[in-house]
C-alpha cells in the first residue's frame, strides 16, 4: 500500500490533521485510488510512532469529509467519489453551506491563491500592536474572566458610538448591542423582525451568509434588481407592496459582491419608500471603512427620522475577521428584544476580546491600520481591473468597485463555461461561484473576484 | 442640585460609565430624589471637563435602565420608580431575562457578596498562565486573524476528544462541534431537534438560560419531577408519552441548581426509556469536572448505543466563563445540521481563543488548575452547609451537593418570606430567586445559593 506520511511535531497543526491532510492530498493526486485499502489504525499508529487516537481522529476526519469509508470487519477504503479540497468546486452544483465552509477555511497554506474570500489580508494584520494591547489587559484578568454586560462591554459600546459619528450617526452606548460579527447581528435581526414564512427583500446578488440564514430560519428571500446605484426604487416599492416584505437587507456602501455604492439621493429614496410602505431597512455597513477613492456617502441610518433602520457593522473587514466583534444600532423596544435573543443565543461575546477591541479603537490603532492598508487594497483593485481589461474578451463584463473588497464578473452564456469555477480552482485560483449569491438565479454565469488577499496580480 | 461626581481617568471603566454609576448610587441611596432635575448635558460636561458625548452616553445608559427620564424642552429628571441595581430583586416578580442579565453582570466591584452566580471564582483564575499561552500564539497571527474551520479548530476538537475519555466517551474530532459555550450548543440543539410548538422535557428545577431559550424559540417546557437521584424514570416515561416530547434536557452530573448526581443505574434507565419511547437526551455535562467528593459516574453519552444522546460541555465552569468556549458531540446527520445552523448563527468562535483553549488543555494547565481549586470549592461548600445547618430553622431544607457550584434551599410557606431574595440583596448578599428556575412553579419559595465565589462564610 503506497502511503507515505511525514509528520512534523513542531508544526502548529495537530498530528492527526497533518496525517489527514496528507492522505487527502494523495487521494486528490490519484496516488491513492478509489477502493484502495488503508492501513489499520494500530498498524499506522505503530508505523508513525503516534497514538491510536491520533490515527482514529485522522480517519474520522477523512470519513466525515467523504474521503474514505470504513466497513466493519473488512477495513478502511478510499471512497468511490473522493471529494475535492474545495467542496464547492466539486462536480455537483455548489450549495451555500459548502461555499461558506470553504471560504471560512481558505488559507494561504492550502497553496491556493485566493480571490474567493472578501476578507482583509491577514498578512497586513497589525499583530504586534494587537498582542501588546492583549498583554496590557492582564491586570484586569479577574474582571475579564467573567461575562460582563449582556448588551456588551460599555467601553466598547462607547468606542463604537464615537466611531459611527464618521458615518453621520448620532448614537449613545445605550443604543448599541455588541454582536459576534455582523453575521450574528443579522441572524438576531432576521429572527426578531420576521416570522417563518415571511418574505425578506434582498439585493440581487447579495451576501451568501444572509441567504443561508434566511433559509435556516424559514424566511423567503425575494430579490430586488439593482442598477449601478444599488437597489432600484420603483422595483423595491412594487415588490415590497406585492410581497408584504418585513424588511429590506442592503449593503448600500461598497456592496458585496458588486462593489457598487448608492449615492445619498438613492439612500433617501429607499428610506422614504420603507417609511411609506411600512417595512424596515437592515443596513449592513461592514465595508464602509474600506473607501478606496472618495469618502463614502452618509449611512442610511444617519438619514432616518422614523426608526426605520437597523444598522450593523463590525471589525471583520476593516481589521480582523477572527475577532468576531460587531455591533448593531436599533431603536427601542426592538433593541431590548434583540438583546434578549442574543442572551438566548450565546449570552455574550468574550469580554477579553471586546475590551481589546475597545482599546484598539480608542488608541487610534484601527485608524492607523486603515491608513496603511487602504493604499494597498487600492493598488490590488487597480491591478485586478487592469488585468481583467487586458485579458478578458469584451463579452465578459465586470464592475468598477470604488470601495470594499470585491468585483463582480458576468460571463456570456456559452456551453462549457459552467465549469469555469472548478477549472479555476484546479489552476490554483479560488473564486466564489456567482450562483450561490442569488436569491433567484438568473441563469447567467457570474464570478465574484475578491482582491483583498491577492498580492500578485499580473 | 446636590450632585457630586468624581471621575478617575486612570480607571478601566469608561468615564461615561463612572458617571452613570455614581448617579445610580446617589439615586439608590436617596440622595437624588424622584423628580429631581439633573444638570443639562452641556452644564455637566463643562463642570466635569469631559465631552458632551460622555454625558449623553451616561444619561442614555441611565435612561435605558429606567433611572431617569428626559422630557423635551423641560430637562432630565430622576424617574418615579428608580430601579434597584439588581433588577431581579426589585418589587415586581423577577423575569428570566432580568435575572440572567443580573447574573452576567454581578461582579466583586458592586460591593455585593455573591451567592447568586454558579460561576468559578475569577480570583482563582490562572491569569499568568493564560496570558503566557496567548502571548506564545503571536507567531501564528496571520492564521488566527482568520476564521478557520466551520466545525471548530481541529486542535481544540482533538483536545476535547481526549478530554471526554475521562467521561467514558469515545469520540474523534470529526464527532465534535465547537460552540460559544454550552448555552449556544443548547440553542442550536433545541432549534434542530424541535419545531415551534413542540414540547421539551426539563428537570424541575433547571438551568434558567435554557428556559429562556425555550421561550425565545417558541418551545414548551414541561417539567419532570426529580428525586435525590435526578429525573424520576416512571414520571419521565409517562410524561414523555403524553406530551410527545422531542427531547429531555438533563444535567445529570452535579445538577444545577440542586447539586444532585444521578447514579449509573438511573442513567441507564433514562437512556432505555428514551430509546423505547423515541425521544433524544440532551446531556449538559458542564459541572462534571467539579467533583468535590468522589469521581462522577460515567456520562450518559458513554452508555448510548443508539445515537440517542447529544452531549454538551464547556470550559465555563471548570476554567473561565468569559472564554465562551464549549463543544457538543452529536451523531450524524444531526451534527451536520448543527454545524450548518452554527454557521447561520455566527459563523465560528474566535480562532485565537479556540487555539488558546487547545493549548491550555494540551499542556495540562486545566488539569493543574482543577487540582488547585477543587479543595477550595470543597471547603466553601462545607462552610456553607455548616452555616446553613447551624443558623437555619429545621423547617428550611437544603440539598447536599457532591459536586458543582450550587445548593438548593426550600423554605416553608409563610407570609412575608416571599420578599426574602430582595431583603438578602439589600443586606449585601445576592442570591438567585428559585421561581425563575422552574418551568412550572410549585408555589414554594426556593433559593439557589452558589458557593463558588464566596470566600468568607461564617
Q: What is the average per-residue pLDDT within B314-336?
A: 96
pLDDT at position A106: 66
DSSP-based helix, strand, coil % in chain B, nearest 5: 45, 15, 40
Contact state of B12 with A216 under an 8 Å Cβ cutoff: no
Q: How far apart are the first and last CA of chain A?
A: 43
Rounded Cα distance between A342 and B405, Å, is 25
Q: What is the average per-residue pLDDT within B208-221?
A: 96
What CATH number labels B87-124+367-450? 3.90.1150.10
Q: What is the pLDDT of residues A32-87, one digit of tens each?
A: 887 888 999 999 999 999 998 899 889 988 887 778 888 767 788 888 643 444 54
pLDDT at A273 over 60: yes
Contacts of residue B341, defined as CB under 8 A and 6 or more positions apart, other chains included, come to A216, B188, B191, B192
Q: What is the pLDDT of residues A94-105, one digit of tens each?
A: 778 888 887 776
pLDDT-based confidence at residue B72 (cuts at 50, 70, 90): low
Interface of B with A in 2-61 (CB under 8 A): 12-14, 16-17, 53, 56-57, 59-61
Contacts of residue A446, defined as CB under 8 A and 6 or more positions apart, other chains included, come to A205, A408, A409, A410, A411, A433, A434, A435, A437, A438
pLDDT at B450 over 60: yes
Query: If you search the block for the grid coordinates 459582491, which residue do you land on?
Result: A257
- Residue pair B61/A171 in contact (Cβ under 8 Å)? The answer is no
pLDDT at A351 over 60: yes
- Residue pair B222/B440 in contact (Cβ under 8 Å)? The answer is yes
pLDDT at position A230: 97
Q: What is the average per-residue pLDDT within B428-434?
A: 79
Nearest to B123 among A142, A180, A322 (CB): A142
Q: What is the average per-residue pLDDT within B340-355?
A: 97
Contacts of residue A383, defined as CB under 8 A and 6 or more positions apart, other chains included, come to A451, A457, A458
Cα radius of gyration (chain B): 24
pLDDT at position A84: 46
pLDDT-based confidence at residue B377 (cuts at 50, 70, 90): very high
Average pLDDT for chain A? 89
Q: Is the dihedral of CA B69, B216, B259, B162 positive or negative?
A: negative
pLDDT at position A423: 76
What is the ipTM for the molecules in this complex?
Answer: 0.87
Give how far B121 is from chain A: nearest CA, Å: 9
More confident of the two residues B93 and A286: A286
Mutate to test the interface with B, among A45, A143, A145 (most CBs of B within 10 A): A145
pLDDT at position B303: 98
Give the residue range(s) of CATH 3.90.1150.10 domains in chain B: 87-124+367-450
Q: What is the pLDDT of residues B220-268, one digit of tens each?
A: 999 999 999 999 999 999 999 999 999 999 999 999 999 999 999 999 9
pLDDT at position A433: 81
pLDDT at position A236: 98
Q: Which of A333-337, A342-346, A427-431 is the least confident region?
A: A427-431
Q: Which of A1-10, A62-71, A377-386 has the highest mean pLDDT?
A: A377-386
Q: What is the average per-residue pLDDT within A17-28?
A: 87
Interface of B with A in 205-244 (CB under 8 A): 209, 212-213, 216-217
Give the residue range(s) of CATH 3.40.640.10 domains in chain B: 127-365
B322 near A CB under 8 A? yes
pLDDT-based confidence at residue A335 (cuts at 50, 70, 90): very high
Q: What is the pLDDT of residues B102-111, one digit of tens each?
A: 777 665 445 5
Rounded Cα distance between A221 and A3, Å, is 48
pLDDT at A413 over 70: yes
Specify burial of residue B66 (Cβ count, 10 A radius: 0-12, 13-18, 19+): middle
Of A317, A315, A335, the residue nearest A325 (C-alpha): A315
- In chain B, residues with a C-beta closer than 8 Å to the C-beta of A125 are 141-142, 145
Q: What is the average per-residue pLDDT within A282-298?
A: 98
Specify burial of residue A456 (Cβ count, 10 A radius: 0-12, 13-18, 19+): exposed
pLDDT at A334 over 90: yes
Give how far A181 is from chain B: nearest CA, Å: 7
- Give the SS3 label for residue B331: coil
For domain A127-366, is the CATH number 3.40.640.10?
yes
- Residue pair B283/B235 in contact (Cβ under 8 Å)? The answer is no
- Give the SS3 label for residue B418: helix
Q: With left for phi above 0 and alpha for psi between -120 and 50, is residue B98 left, alpha or beta?
A: alpha
CATH class, B127-365 region: alpha beta
Fold of A87-124+370-450: 3.90.1150
Specify burial of residue A69 (Cβ count, 10 A radius: 0-12, 13-18, 19+): middle
Rounded Cα distance between A321 and B352, Å, is 11
Rounded Cα distance between A71 and A74, Å, is 5
Q: Give me the percent of chain A exceeding a pLDDT of 70.
A: 93
Look at strands B176-179 and B199-203 and give their pairing: unpaired
Mutual angle of helices A52-64 and B154-163, in 10-degree steps: 130
Rounded Cα distance between B46 and B41, Å, is 9
Q: What is the pLDDT of residues A165-224, one digit of tens each?
A: 999 999 989 999 999 999 999 999 999 999 999 999 999 999 999 999 999 999 999 999
Match domain B15-78 to its CATH number in 2.60.40.10, 1.10.10.10, 3.30.470.20, 1.10.3720.10: 1.10.10.10
Query: Residue B83 gets which letter from DSSP?
Result: P
- Give the SS3 label for residue B78: strand
Give the residue range(s) of CATH 1.10.10.10 domains in chain A: 15-78
Contact state of B104 with A348 under an 8 Å Cβ cutoff: yes
Amino acid at each position: 500500500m503506497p502511503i507515505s506520511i511525514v509528520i512534523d511535531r513542531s508544526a502548529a497543526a495537530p498530528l492527526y490533521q497533518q496525517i489527514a491532510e496528507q492522505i487527502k492530498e494523495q487521494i486528490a493526486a490519484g496516488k491513492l485510488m478509489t477502493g484502495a485499502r488503508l492501513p489499520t489504525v494500530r498498524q499506522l499508529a505503530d508505523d508513525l510512532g503516534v497514538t491510536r487516537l491520533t490515527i482514529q481522529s485522522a480517519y474520522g476526519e477523512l470519513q466525515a469529509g467523504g474521503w474514505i469509508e470504513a466497513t466493519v470487519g473488512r477495513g478502511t477504503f478510499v471512497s468511490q467519489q473522493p471529494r475535492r479540497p474545495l467542496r464547492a468546486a466539486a462536480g455537483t452544483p455548489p450549495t451555500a453551506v459548502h461555499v461558506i465552509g470553504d471560504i471560512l477555511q481558505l488559507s494561504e497554506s492550502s497553496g491556493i491563491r485566493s480571490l474567493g474570500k472578501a476578507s482583509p489580508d491577514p498578512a497586513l494584520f497589525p499583530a504586534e500592536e494587537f498582542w501588546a494591547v492583549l498583554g496590557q489587559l492582564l491586570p484586569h484578568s479577574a474582571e475579564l474572566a467573567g461575562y460582563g454586560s449582556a448588551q456588551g462591554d460599555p467601553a466598547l459600546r462607547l468606542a463604537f458610538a464615537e466611531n459611527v459619528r464618521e458615518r453621520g450617526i448620532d448614537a449613545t452606548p445605550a443604543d448599541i448591542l455588541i454582536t459576534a460579527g455582523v453575521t450574528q447581528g443579522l441572524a438576531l435581526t432576521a429572527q426578531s423582525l420576521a416570522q417563518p414564512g415571511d418574505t425578506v427583500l434582498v439585493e440581487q446578488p447579495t451576501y451568501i451568509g444572509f441567504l443561508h440564514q434566511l433559509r435556516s430560519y424559514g424566511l423567503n428571500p425575494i430579490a430586488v434588481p439593482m442598477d449601478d446605484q444599488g437597489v432600484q426604487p420603483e422595483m423595491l416599492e412594487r415588490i415590497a407592496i406585492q410581497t408584504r416584505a418585513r424588511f429590506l437587507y442592503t449593503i448600500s456602501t461598497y456592496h458585496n459582491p458588486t462593489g457598487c455604492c448608492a449615492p445619498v439621493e438613492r439612500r433617501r429614496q429607499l428610506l422614504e419608500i420603507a417609511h411609506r410602505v411600512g417595512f424596515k431597512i437592515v443596513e449592513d455597513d461592514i465595508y464602509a471603512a474600506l473607501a478606496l477613492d472618495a469618502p463614502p456617502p452618509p449611512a442610511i441610518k444617519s438619514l432616518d427620522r422614523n426608526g426605520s433602520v437597523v444598522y450593523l457593522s463590525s471589525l471583520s473587514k476593516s481589521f480582523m475577521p477572527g475577532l468576531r466583534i460587531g455591533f448593531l444600532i436599533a431603536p427601542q423596544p426592538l433593541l431590548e428584544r434583540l438583546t434578549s435573543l442574543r442572551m438566548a443565543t450565546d449570552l455574550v461575546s468574550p469580554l477579553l476580546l471586546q475590551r481589546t477591541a475597545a482599546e484598539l479603537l480608542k488608541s487610534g490603532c484601527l485608524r492607523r491600520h486603515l491608513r496603511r492598508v487602504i493604499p494597498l487594497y487600492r493598488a490590488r483593485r487597480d491591478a485586478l481591473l487592469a488585468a481583467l481589461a487586458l485579458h478578458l474578451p469584451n463579452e465578459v463584463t465586470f464592475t468598477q468597485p470604488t470601495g470594499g473588497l470585491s468585483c463582480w464578473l458576468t460571463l456570456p452564456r456559452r456551453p462549457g463555461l459552467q465549469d469555469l469555477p472548478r477549472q479555476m480552482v484546479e489552476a490554483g485560483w479560488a473564486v466564489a461561484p456567482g450562483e450561490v449569491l442569488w436569491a433567484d438565479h438568473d441563469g447567467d454565469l457570474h464570478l465574484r473576484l475578491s482582491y483583498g488577499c491577492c498580492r500578485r496580480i499580473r
